[in-house]
């Protein structure tokens, strides 16, 4: 059995533009550029054969998923566990403010993937986010769809991709990744 997962980050929000951390507790919609990015993403996905999209419940991801689904004439459903990493008390702050207010945690957060237990006060660890995201993929293996779109968030996707050997990297809005499950094995497509 083979299943293809096309995982994409949501389009731009005003908070992204400001470099302000949203996490899972701040729920704002796409800005005008984010809507345009989602439309361009739909064109990139036209030939992938998506049958259905599952999305985070946060409106920036859900709106992106809805734009893509509308252009591809497929359905969308929400899975709350596809939400962004909870950044606790760092949510709503500018990245530069987080770097000062939580200097040591911030430094550890951007260290290599080996430090998966770091978290901001009242937040979720990278490992918890990775476990949550991978559990969603495993549960989606039960679906009859063979080619599935997943709309999520930069941090949540990044820590999921660590599991597949992708090193830390800057992720643009609407970045797209292809994960394949085949005969019991998972792999990240090049």
pLDDT of residue 110: 85
Distance (Å, rounded) from C-alpha 142 to C-alpha 162? 23
- Active-site hit among 32, 46, 84, 190: 84
pLDDT tens figures, 142-188: 999 999 999 999 999 999 999 998 877 789 999 999 999 999 999 99
Does 47 qualify as catalytic in the annotation?
A: no
Overall residue count recorded for the chain in this entry: 190
State which fold the 2-188 domain adopts: Rossmann fold (3.40.50)
State the Cα angle at 33 between 59 and 67, rounded to 5°.
50
Going from the C-alpha of 28 to that of each of 16, 39, 68, 93, 162, the distances in angstroms are 10, 18, 18, 14, 27
pTM: 0.95
Distance (Å, rounded) from C-alpha 10 to C-alpha 29? 10
pLDDT-above-90 percentage for the chain:
91
Distance (Å, rounded) from C-alpha 12 to C-alpha 30? 6
Of 70, 44, 69, nearest to 174 (Cα)? 44
Does 182 qualify as catalytic in the annotation?
A: no
State yes or no: pLDDT of 115 exceeds 90.
Answer: no
């Amino acid at each position: 059995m083979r299943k293809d997962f096309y995982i994409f980050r949501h389009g731009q929000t005003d908070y992204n533009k400001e470099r302000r951390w949203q996490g899972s507790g701040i729920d704002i919609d796409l800005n005008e550029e984010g809507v345009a990015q989602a439309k361009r993403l739909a064109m990139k996905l036209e030939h992938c054969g998506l049958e259905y999209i599952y999305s985070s419940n946060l409106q920036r991801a859900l709106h992106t998923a809805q734009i893509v689904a509308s252009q591809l004439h497929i359905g969308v459903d929400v899975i709350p566990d596809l939400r962004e990493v909870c950044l606790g008390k760092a949510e709503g702050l500018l990245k530069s403010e987080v770097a000062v207010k939580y200097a040591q945690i911030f430094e550890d957060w951007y260290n290599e993937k080996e430090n998966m237990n770091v978290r901001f006060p009242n937040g979720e660890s990278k490992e918890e986010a990775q476990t949550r995201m991978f559990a969603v993929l495993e549960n989606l293996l039960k679906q009859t769809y063979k080619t599935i779109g997943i709309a999520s968030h930069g941090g949540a996707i990044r820590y999921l991709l660590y599991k597949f050997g992708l090193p830390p990297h800057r992720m643009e809005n609407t970045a797209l990744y292809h994960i394949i499950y085949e005969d019991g094995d998972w792999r990240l497509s090049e």
